[in-house]
């Protein structure tokens, strides 16, 4: 007797990688254990997180957005936890929709737990290189209050920036100073982040150009974090005395991550836009029994 296979694709944006599960009618119940199994780099497919593709109308958390955004990005971290938003994931999600003919070059809206995000898929290059994807990432919130990030014996002051999900950002002399980021740095006071946080370490590379490493909540050290890069851009701009609302024009930074480069602008109205690559690298299927009882 044959069992219906679960289809998947694998993609990444600046090497922040995802298992994509098309579940258009919202039939799958993905338990945290099932997500963690898929993301396992030795016993699973391997990824930083899972992007489940569901019609907004078929998902209770997205139904209210269905008129504006047909598709909901149900994002999960590699440990199975749910997060509000994934900045690299949303570009990979858009690329998936384009690949299967559910979106075309140009503009599209995607529903996320942080609200609707508007993406623009650029034309492919003359050599066939997939066009970059720009996403409106919403406004950064900058909660006041001193934050300290500690790794081993060292600590740094940090800035609290929320891009739909939480970030603690420290400027350091050398990215190696952060040491091993597979375990979460200590962030205090813990009350500033009741649901935990992502932590970014940043160095300067030149005018309006920084580089970062990240420990992602629920995934460990990753090669890139899109929301993190946006939070870093805003923290760097404020540190440099550049507030687009006061300047009356957009401010743009290049943010290098271990897995590539993102270009991020903040507009005078506070909205942040991020541009970067997104690629699909593989597709396949697996037997649901592989996840044992983890998939309902």
Ligand X SMILES: N[C@@H](CCC[C@H](N)C(=O)O)C(=O)O
Q: At closest approach, how far in Å is the CB of 49 from ligand X?
A: 6
| Closest to ligand X by CB, 59 or 167 | 167
| CA–CA distance, 65 with 5 (Å, rounded to integer) | 30
Residue listed under structure tokens 């609200």: 115
| 55 assigned ligand-binding residue | no
Least distance between ligand X and beta carbon 295 (Å): 22
Q: How far is the CB of 17 from ligand X (least distance, A)?
A: 10
Q: Is 68 annotated as a binding residue?
A: no
Binding residues for ligand X (CB under 6 A):
16, 49, 77, 83, 86-89, 165, 198, 216-219, 225-228
CA dihedral in degrees (159, 163, 165, 167; nearest 10)?
-20
In the complex with ligand X, the residue whose CB is nearer, 232 or 295, is 232
Please tell me whether 162 is known to bind a ligand: no
CB count within 10 Å of CB 42 equals: 5
Cβ-based neighbour number of residue 279 at 10 Å:
17
Question: Using CA atoms, how far apart are residues 75 and 62, in angstroms rounded to an integer?
Answer: 12
Q: Which residues contact 20 (CB under 8 A, 6 or more apart)?
A: 8, 9, 10, 11, 50, 51, 52, 53, 92, 93, 96, 280
Is 198 marked as a binding-site residue? yes
Q: Is 88 annotated as a binding residue?
A: yes
Assess contact for 75 and 49: CB atoms under 8 A. yes
Is 77 labelled as part of a ligand binding site? Answer: yes
Give the nearer residue to ligand X in terms of CB position, either 258 or 288: 258
Binding site annotation covers 87? yes
Active site residues: 86, 225
Of 77 and 290, which has the nearer Cβ to ligand X?
A: 77
Which residue, 2, 271, 260, 31, is CA-closest to 138? 271
Angle between helices 87-99 and 226-239 (to 10 degrees): 140
As to burial, measured by CB atoms within 10 angstroms (0-12 exposed, 13-18 middle, 19+ buried), residue 199 is buried
Least Cβ distance, residue 109 to ligand X (angstroms):
18
CB nearer to ligand X: pick between 5 and 89: 89
Residue 218 exposure: Cα atoms within 13 Å on the Cβ side: 28
Place of tokens 């029994």: 289
CA atoms within 13 A on the CB side of 270: 7
Residues in binding site: 16, 77, 87-88, 165, 198, 216-217, 226-227
Residues making up the binding site for substrate: 16, 77, 87-88, 165, 198, 216-217, 226-227
């Amino acid at each position: 007797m044959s069992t219906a296979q679960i289809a998947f694709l694998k993609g990444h944006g600046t090497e922040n990688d995802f298992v994509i599960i098309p579940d258009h009618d919202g039939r799958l119940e993905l338990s945290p254990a099932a997500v963690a199994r898929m993301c396992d780099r030795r016993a699973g497919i391997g990824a930083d997180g899972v992007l489940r593709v569901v019609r907004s109308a078929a998902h209770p958390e997205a139904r209210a957005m269905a008129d504006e955004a047909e598709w909901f990005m149900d994002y999960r971290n590699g440990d199975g936890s749910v997060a509000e938003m994934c900045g690299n994931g949303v570009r990979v999600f858009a690329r998936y929709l384009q690949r299967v003919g559910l979106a075309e070059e140009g503009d599209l809206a995607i529903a996320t737990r942080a609200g609707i995000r508007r993406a623009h898929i650029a034309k492919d290059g003359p050599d066939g290189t997939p066009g970059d994807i720009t996403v409106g990432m919403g406004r950064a919130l900058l909660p006041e209050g001193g934050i300290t990030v500690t790794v081993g014996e060292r600590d740094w002051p940090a800035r609290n920036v929320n891009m739909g999900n939480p970030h603690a950002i420290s400027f350091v002399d050398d990215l190696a100073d952060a040491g091993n980021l597979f375990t979460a740095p200590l962030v205090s006071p813990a009350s500033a982040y009741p649901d935990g946080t992502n932590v970014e370490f940043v160095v300067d590379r030149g005018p309006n150009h920084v580089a970062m490493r990240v420990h992602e909540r629920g995934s460990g050290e990753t090669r890139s974090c899109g929301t993190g890069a946006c939070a870093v851009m805003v923290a760097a701009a404020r540190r440099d005395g550049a507030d687009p609302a006061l300047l009356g024009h957009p401010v743009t930074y290049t943010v290098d991550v271990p897995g590539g480069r993102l270009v991020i602008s903040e507009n005078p109205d506070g909205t942040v836009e991020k541009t970067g690559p997104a690629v699909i690298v593989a597709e396949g299927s697996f037997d649901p029994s592989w996840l044992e009882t983890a998939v309902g």
